[in-house]
């Protein structure tokens, strides 16, 4: 199951009524079971309804959406908007972080909109997502404050399966290595999945890693498909010019995949009576195993045929 965060760069009415842009936005969104769109500028809510309708025209299994309130300190407001597949996940709860800690009020320009999903097919059935879009000038402080958000939600929902994702502005002029070392979510039990050398910007002017995915604790880390955390370079994927790509966004989505229960059980031998410590796969053993399965299948076929003949007589 793939999850993503995508800064849509002033995503509103103008973009969703641009046929070229909406075509590629729906292609991008449809890659994911859950995707959080950032920098949504849609006071009426009509733009995101249009996007949802266009998305569902192309999908056999329709998406649903949920959105935060308008967020921001002044006249400029943004929203977090999440699109998700109800055939794969269920939105159990949501929570708008209040950002009113005594002595540290209004730490965020755009307070996190926290989502809780039931994911029955993955190894982490109860998943919490914390979308983030920091104000560039306040990046170090806002990233550090995310630890308080995590602690608040752990207490509220009694859940440690937490993923923080979005536009952290965690590179370039906004976050130095020295400042990063002092940020609480940059040390255990947190794990940053998008490395510092990953380009998350759709621009030839820089290759900064502004967008990130961070998980809390070993259980959450072990639920991630290895090496699945990355940016999705839609410019390369769709063979777009620089101008066409920037018309969609100046960011790439960042994505990650959760392990499924079936895949994990098969890899571990769970439920199959297999002692993993005794299993050694070689070309010979694989070949012998295949022939054994063919022999067993033939044996069962003959037995069934005999039973059928006896019953017929």
Question: Is residue 165 scored above 80 in pLDDT?
Answer: yes
78 is catalytic: yes
Strand partners, 4: 35, 255
How are the residues of the chain apportioned to helix, strand and coil, as percentages rounded to the nearest 5? 40, 25, 40
Taking the CA atoms of 56, 57, 58 and 61 in sequence, report the sign of the dihedral they define. positive
Mean pLDDT across the stretch 2-31? 98
Summarised one tens digit per residue, pLDDT across range 24-46 is: 999 999 999 999 999 999 999 99
What is the pLDDT, as a whole number, of residue 269?
Answer: 58
For the structural domain made of 2-266, what CATH number should be given? 3.60.10.10
Residues 242-256, buried b or exposed e (16+ Cβ, 10 A)? eebbbbbbbbbbbbb
Task: Determine the 3-state secondary structure of 220 from DSSP.
Answer: helix
In the set 24, 39, 78, 142, the catalytic residue is: 78
Q: What pTM, to 2 d.p., does this model score?
A: 0.83
- Rounded CA gap, 157 and 159, in Å? 5
Question: Is residue 313 scored above 50 in pLDDT?
Answer: no
133 is catalytic: yes
Q: How confident is the model at residue 5 (pLDDT cuts 50, 70, 90)?
A: very high
In the set 24, 39, 111, 133, the catalytic residue is: 133
């Amino acid at each position: 199951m793939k999850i993503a965060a995508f800064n849509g760069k002033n995503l509103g009415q103008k973009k969703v009524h641009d046929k070229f842009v909406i075509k590629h936005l729906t292609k991008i969104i449809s890659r994911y079971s859950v995707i959080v769109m950032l920098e949504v500028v849609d006071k009426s809510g009509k733009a995101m309804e249009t996007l949802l309708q266009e998305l569902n025209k192309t999908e056999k299994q329709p998406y649903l959406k949920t959105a935060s309130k308008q967020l921001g300190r002044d006249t400029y407001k943004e929203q977090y908007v999440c699109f998700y597949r109800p055939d794969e996940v269920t939105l159990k709860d949501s929570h708008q972080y209040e950002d009113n800690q005594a002595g540290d009020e209004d730490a965020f320009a755009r307070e996190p909109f926290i989502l809780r999903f039931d994911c029955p097919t993955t190894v982490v059935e109860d998943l919490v997502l914390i979308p983030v879009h920091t104000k560039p000038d306040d990046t170090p402080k806002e990233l550090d404050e995310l630890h308080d958000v995590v602690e608040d939600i752990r207490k509220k929902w009694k859940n440690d399966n937490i993923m923080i994702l979005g536009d952290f502005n965690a590179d370039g002029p906004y976050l130095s290595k020295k400042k990063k070392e002092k940020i609480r979510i940059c040390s255990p039990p947190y794990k940053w999945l998008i490395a510092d050398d990953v380009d998350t910007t759709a621009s030839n002017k820089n290759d900064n890693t502004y967008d990130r995915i961070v998980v809390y604790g070993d259980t959450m880390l072990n639920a991630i498909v290895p090496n699945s955390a990355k940016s999705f370079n839609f410019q390369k994927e769709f063979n777009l010019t620089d101008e066409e790509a920037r018309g969609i966004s100046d960011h790439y989505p960042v994505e990650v995949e959760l392990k499924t229960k079936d895949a994990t059980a098969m890899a571990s031998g769970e439920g199959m009576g297999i002692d993993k410590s005794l299993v050694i796969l070689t070309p010979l053993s694989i070949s012998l195993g295949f022939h054994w399965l063919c022999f067993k299948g033939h044996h069962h076929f003959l037995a069934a045929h005999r039973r059928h003949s006896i019953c017929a007589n």
